[in-house]
Chain A
Amino acid sequence: MLEPYNKTGKRIQRGTDIMRDLDVDSLAVMNFIMKIEDRFDISIPLNAMAEIQTVEDLATTVLKMKTEAGA
């Protein structure tokens, strides 16, 4: 899902920093996050966004939100 936003051609891995390594600007990140939210049927609060830098951070947040929604 992230690949279309990747301007660098670098391989996307767990530790990839979404904005810095892939040269994705803040607006594109917001659009990407909205796609993730639709795909997993969650809302990622703005409060949680500051802590998301890498692909792994994002995955952790998505899992956390899924768990909260199920609880």
Chain B
Amino acid sequence: MSIFKRFDSLIQAHRDLSACGTDPFSVRLDRVLSPTRAIVGGQPVILAGTNNYLGLTFDPGCIAAAIEAVEGEGTGTTGSRIANGSYALHKALEVRLAEFFGRRHAMVFTTGYQANLGIISTLAGQGDFLIIDSDSHASIYDAARLSSATVIRFKHNDPADLEKRLHRLANRPGNKIIVVEGIYSMIGDQAPLAEIVTVKRKYGAYLLVDEAHSLGVLGDHGRGLAEHAGVEDDVDFVVGTFSKSLGAVGGFCVSDLEDFDVLRIVCRPYMFTASLPPSVIASVTAALAVMENDPHLRRRLWNNVDTLYDGLALNGFVLGGQKGPVVAVHLPSQGVAVRTWYDLLRTGVYVNLALPPATPNGMPLLRCSVCAAHSRDDLETIVDTMVDIGQRNGVIEPPARAARA
């Protein structure tokens, strides 16, 4: 019997998916030309599913900084942060991150996934309670599995349900740690953070906010949902990633709590992996400066969000969540979703295909992400292409019937 036997049903489902002509989960970008353009299957496509919200992957200053670092300090650190992998560059980035967030402490991880995995699993120990939103990212669920705390889920974005669960624990000893996300990655809705903070205070819990998709996107200075909601003082830990707005890879956590630095010698996903290469640290440091000094980028992003979101909504697409750089288009069935996704790709528009169980409530989604570097023409092409293909595949009404309705 094959060791993969228990995946049989998944193997079959994956085969069925690929029947549309290509495997949606292993698309090859033959060549990426810019934040918004790539060659796929010999054809140019507009990239509209990349999380590259500020379009900094090709920023000349970030590229120059990365080149200088790779030439000056080599291709990799070949060691962990607690051994030979903490260079002056890593330390300087931590200082810069702490300054940016106005916090006392910052810790840099090798990926955003590891930042959540490490921080959450280490903060919540035996006898503690980890209280997570039911739509949490896989990294939060995996952290919960790695932790020895009791793990409780509350209904997605429902502060009343969170309160009920904290109330049930009111007489139990142990720390209570609430985990929410600034922007949820699949449908783009934001946590009701002010209400969550009220509950958190009432029950003396700790609060961690994952700002992976909201860093550089929300708040007057781009510090994320906590800034936008005006509750930064009540957020004990902010976790984030370098792989979205900052255009590279890596993760971080910032906090004001005393003794935070003990995490450096107890948090295993921080300790037992090689640190980020100098080139990545350098480009992220440069990208952080661009994000801070150029608020136009964020304004451009939000203008682009308006164009794409309103364009799709006006043409009858059912969109998820709140208006923001993650625009989730609801599709009626998996078959229609896969066909529409494939037709879009062949016509020159790349978006993410998101299928259950990765999506909430079993909804198949086409997940678009908006970039500050999209031109108005790009966005109009995306909308026109989606309308055309959406009509042909029965996702939205054809124009004649829509006009009559």
Contact = CB atoms under 8 A, between A and B. Distances in A.
B172 to A, nearest CB: 8
Contacts, number: 26
Tell me if A's interface is mostly helix, strand, loop or mixed: helix
A45 B206 CA distance: 18
Given A27-B361, A27-B362, A46 B152 contact: yes
B144 interface: yes
Contacts of B356: 27
Nearest to B152: A43
A27 B153 contact: no
State the 10 A-B residue pairs at the shortest beta-carbon distance, nearest first.
A46-B151, A43-B152, A45-B150, A43-B165, A27-B362, A45-B151, A43-B168, A45-B152, A47-B151, A47-B150
Interface string A30-57: 1000100000011101110000000000
Interface residues of A, number: 11
Interface of A: 26-27, 30, 34, 41-43, 45-47, 69
A69 B151 contact: no
B161 to A, nearest CB: 8
Contact of B168 (A26, A47, A69): A69
B296 interface: no
Interface residues of B, number: 15
Given A27-B362, A41-B168, 17 more contacts: A27-B356, A27-B361, A30-B134, A30-B153, A34-B155, A41-B164, A43-B152, A43-B165, A45-B150, A45-B151, A45-B152, A46-B144, A46-B151, A46-B152, A46-B153, A47-B150, A47-B151
Nearest to A68: B172
A12 B46 CA distance: 52
Nearest to B131: A43
Nearest to B172: A68
Interface in B142-190: 144, 150-153, 155, 164-165, 168-169
B72 interface: no
Contacts of A42: 168
Contacts of B42: none
Interface string B78-90: 0000000000000
26 contacts: A26-B357, A27-B356, A27-B357, A27-B361, A27-B362, A30-B134, A30-B153, A34-B134, A34-B155, A41-B164, A41-B168, A42-B168, A43-B152, A43-B165, A43-B168, A43-B169, A45-B150, A45-B151, A45-B152, A46-B144, A46-B151, A46-B152, A46-B153, A47-B150, A47-B151, A69-B168
